[in-house]
Amino acid sequence: MIDSLRAEIEGLQAKRDDYLREYVVKPGDYLMKISALREYYNDPYKWRIIYEANRDIIDDPDLIYPKQILKIPPVSENNAGE
């Protein structure tokens, strides 16, 4: 029983860690550049996923600022086509 609970906890932590990726904006960054990074989406046209996940701190997707901390959600079936 303890082993099954441990496995379940590890699975939940892996899911959480996948969603909780963050990116600290650097000078010269923009959403298309960030989404094109291999460790995130490797596709500049998925910038809207980042924008939608950070609407609470981004008013204009063309205006992000150094030192902002952006949430980078995983690609899911819901946002794969964005």
Q: Residue 42: which of 71, 70, 78, 75 has the closest Cα? A: 75
What would the pLDDT profile of 19-58 be if each residue is shown by its tens digit? Answer: 668 999 999 999 999 999 999 999 999 999 999 999 999 9
3-state secondary structure of 33: helix
Q: What pTM was computed for the model?
A: 0.72
Tell me how far apart the alpha carbons of residues 47 and 40 are, in angstroms, rounded to a whole number.
Answer: 10
Note the helical H segments in the chain. Answer: 2-19, 31-35, 47-53
Domains of the chain with bracketed CATH: 22-74 (3.10.350)
Q: What is the pLDDT of residue 4?
A: 83
Q: What is the pLDDT of residue 9?
A: 78
